[in-house]
Each structure stands twice: as structure tokens, then as C-alpha cells.
Chains A and B, each alone.
Chain A
């Protein structure tokens, strides 16, 4: 499944995806193609709860450390899963390129990701294939742009009384 076996130090793998450690927390790095299949395997192996699904825009911080074979892209989807029985947590990070900001929805695995995926879509403009209702959730529906992108300007509201006192 993966071609990372030839690296000098053996990269730990989980279901064919590189497994790294971040401050004692397990992180898996699937490719976009492996994403849903990996989450399905994790769900079947006990990670019954999808706590959190969010995204990060790495536009101004491209040089982060990733395991070999994973190419850093502009966006990253971050999914946090919890296994109730083994009291375990795992994090999944997927790279999503700027040129094609789509990724498969995991709504069918955890219906609870419905609002979270909508939030990511709203804030980052990443669309989820197979999501039943991909509309803006926090911003008004006629809003332009995606606020949490790094090139989205914060903007200023004109002040009514500007210049009134020095």
C-alpha cells in the first residue's frame, strides 16, 4: 500500500500510513486517497467517537515537519478520534492542495461530522464530496471568501467619528 519501507530509520506505520508522535499524541498521515479507508479502519478498530474535525491553512508556514513521503500542501484537515473502550486518542492529518480543495466527506462514518465539515467549508473553502448539506454554517450565506484562510484580510470597519479628536 505504501512505498515508505525503504527509508533508513523504520517509519512506524498504521494501516499503511505513516504514524508520528506529537507531544505524546499519536498522529497518522494518510494521503487523500487513503483518508476515508483509514478512518473506516480506525472506526472499526474501536475509535467510535469523532471528537473534532478542523483544518489549518499553512500558507505562511510551509516548512513544517512531516514524515517522509508526505508532501506538505497548503491545507490540512485534522481529525481527532477517541476510542471509548481503550481510552485512547488518535489524530489524522491529511494534506489538501490549494489547486484542488476537495476531500471526501466522512459523514457516512460519523454523522456528527456534519456540522464540523460545514464549518471547515465555511471557514476554509474546502468542499467535502458526499456531504448532504454543504452550506455555510457560521457566516451569512451570501458572504464572500473564507475567513480563516491566511490570505483573508481581517479588514476594518469604518469608524463613524474618526478624526473627531486627535
Chain B
């Protein structure tokens, strides 16, 4: 098949938000109504009487892609009437690097380096869901050594803490509490320092791999974790003084970017956004993976679905993660940190020096990779941002035939037009921040 056969000129039209004069009334009603989940009667009503006004009173402006509060390269087109946002359209793709296509060209051994770069604020969760999907295809998901499972949980929870700490930092910065930015980054750095000690890297670890983890925990890991756990409660109490209890902070967030449970479900959102509406949906509890069914923790839910609930959920999820980490410290077993299955595990370094077969085995596993039986599987876990899913189709080879990551930010960002509608343009910053999108994962 020639390459030219498939290439044809496309005419999909502009991605930008169009002016009202360029789109039909029906289209705009559909756009507004379906986003708002209104009945047809309500939508018809809206067209006649709402605050939507003539074009000469509105203007369309760009926010981003180079805006400090858009957390990367997110571009929003806003239709404004004075200070009020009437319509909003997120335009994404500025960070698209074809990671799913790249993933088709990397072996299952190398795949971790690719997926870990998608959601760069919770890399360990990306690796975890990828590894779990590959293990399910291999049929070894129940043979992972206990220590590896508990280590995965430890790292996943610490990663949730570091991600939420960064959210607190950026949320504070977006709303003018600039000192919070420094505090959040400082605390996150403590967690990253632990990651560096365990995995060798602060980010993009490629540490959780199919079959287990890359290395055992280093000496003294327990006291390092305890140091973080003892440091954090005092700091979180400071945040409460600085932000949670502060009237300015509350005024800025309460009632901003409201979404109801029905809307959140229809828009497919997950994580803190869905939980802020009162839907207690946390995959750690509802579809437990690893050993979360043995853990005691609370699923934090909000009741108003506004930006303040989403803030409060995340700060309290740090506390819940700390509870889980304490339980992990009590339960961490001894033993292997990766499966002793020659198919997926390279031989230990010492064996390579003395055995020709081990050398060949090592060489084969790193050049060709291991073959994964034909099949398809979808595995989902709870990342700090919501449900991160990994859909892998295998054709029996050593590379995924198709790898698709269901990125929580990609879906959550669709709630933006809905949350912003009718709000003030100054609140737009608060709303984007409360979604906590990671553009690396939105665009992949």
C-alpha cells in the first residue's frame, strides 16, 4: 500500500469558535442545550429570553495558549458580553506529540517510558495502569509478588499527594495567593525527593513495570516516608489558616463553576470533579485494584459542585492518602519486588557475568521484548485527576497493536464550557484551576 493512497486533502473546517452570525440558530441551541443537559422546551426558551444577546454587544477573545493560568498550552475562546462569559470553547492539541502512535512502535518493555510522560504530574499512576493492562493480557495479574503490589500502592498514594500539593500551589497562584504557590511546590519537592531516592528520577520514573517494579525500596525508606507524613499535617493546617478558613478565599471559590451530578456524569467527568457534585465514585473503593479493598479510607465528596468543593476535596484527599500510607507502612511485606517469570523478567545482573544463557536472555528481552498473547483489555484506576484507563489491543507480538490512554484531563476539560457559562471572566481562571488539567495528558 502506498503512502499516498490514504493522504487526502481534508476540509474539516476551523476549530475556532465561530461568531453567532456564522452558525445557525439550531446549531447554537444544540451546542448550549446539550452541554447544559436541558430539555428541548427549555432550550427553546433559552433562545428567546436568556442573556444571550446580539453580536454587536459581544466579543470573542482568546485566552491562551500562552496564559499563565491555563496550566500549559490550553487555549480558550471566550464569547464575552462585558464581563460575562456567554460561550467558551477549549482548543487543544498544541502539545500533541502522537504518543499513542509512538506507543505502537515501542515494546511492552519500553512502553512505560512513553506513558509516564503523558500525565507528568502523576507519572506513577500512568505506569501503573499500563503495567496492569499488560499483566492482564499476559494473564499474570494475580501472580505479582506481594511486596511489589504494596510498593505500587505506596508510590501511587505518594504520587497522589504530590499531585494534589501541586494543585494547591497552582490554585493558590491562580487566585492571587502567591505564597501558597511556594509552599505547595516546597512540600511537593519533599515527596519528589523520596521518589528520586527510590526510582532515581524526580519525574517520568518508568519504575512500575509489567511484572512488578524496577528495584527494591532503598535502605531507610521507611524513615523517609515517615518524615513526609510527620511534616505534612502541620503544613496542611497552615494551608487551612491561609486559605480554607479565609473569607476572601471562600468568596473567590464558593458558587463558582457549579456543576450538578447529572451534568458531571453526562459529560463523563471523573475524579474530584465528579465527587464535588456528591457522587461518591472512587475506583479505589468501587472497583478496587491492588490491595485497596484492605485499606481503610474515606471517599471525600462535596455537596455544591463548585470550585471550593473541588479544592476542599483535594486537600482532604491528601489527608486520606496519608492514612493509606500509614497502613501501607504497617503492612509492607518482605519478598520479591518483581515476578520471577522468565518471560517478562530479565535475569539478575550477577547471573549475566557467569551464564551465557542469562546474557542471551537479557539481550533478547531488551531488544525484542516479550510477546503478549492476542487480545484486548481496558484497565482503569483512580489517578489524582480521575479515571485513567488504558486500552491495549495485542496482535500477539512484542509491541502493542494499539494503545489508547483514557486521559481524565481530556474528558474533564469538556466540562469547562458548561462551568463557565454565565460566569465572570475573572472566575474563568478559578474554574480552569479547579479542573486541574494536565495538558500533557490532554493532548498526548
Contact surface of A with B, Cβ cutoff 8 Å: 22-23, 25, 48-52, 54, 56-57, 60-61, 64-65, 78, 80, 84, 87, 89, 91, 107-108, 110-116, 119, 121, 123, 132-149, 151-154
B contact residues, range: 35 or more
5 residue pairs of the A-B complex, CB under 8 angstroms, read: A56-B376, A56-B401, A80-B389, A80-B406, A115-B411
- Shortest A47–chain B CB gap in Å is 10
- In addition to A89-B380, A112-B267, 14 A-B residue pairs with Cβ atoms within 8 Å of each other are A48-B266, A52-B378, A52-B404, A54-B404, A54-B406, A80-B389, A108-B34, A121-B12, A135-B15, A136-B12, A141-B12, A141-B13, A145-B8, A151-B6
Docked complex Cα distance between A90 and B403 (Å): 19
Q: B333-377 CB contact bits vs A (8 Å, 1 = yes)?
A: 000000000000000000000000000000000000000001111
Task: Give the chain B neighbours of A123 by CB distance below 8 A.
Answer: 100
B9 within 8 A of partner (CB): yes
Q: Would you call B443 and A52 a contact (CB within 8 A)?
A: no
B414 and A115 form a contact (CB under 8 A):
yes
- Judged by a CB distance under 8 angstroms, whether B182 is at the interface is no
Closest residue of B by beta carbon distance from A57 = B402
Q: Mark B425-444, 1 if CB is under 8 A from A, else 0.
A: 00000000000000000011
Chain B min CB distance to A31 (Å): 19
Residue from A49, A84, A112, A153 within 8 A of B3 (CB atoms): A153
B105 on interface, CB distance cutoff 8 Å:
yes
In the bound assembly, the distance between CA atoms of A108 and B377 in angstroms comes to 27
In the complex, B137 has a CB within 8 A of chain A: yes
CB-CB under 8 A for A151 and B389, given A112-B266, A141-B12: no
Contact of B15 among A25, A136, A149 (CB under 8 A): A136
B286 within 8 A of partner (CB): yes
**Residue B37 interfacial (CB < 8 Å):** yes
- Pick the contact of A151 from B5, B137, B287 — CB < 8 Å? B5
Is B177 close to A, CB under 8 A?
Answer: no
Those of B240-276 within 8 Å (CB) of chain A: 265-270
B391 with A80: CB separation less than 8 A: yes
* B54-96 contacts to A (CB < 8 Å): 92-93, 96
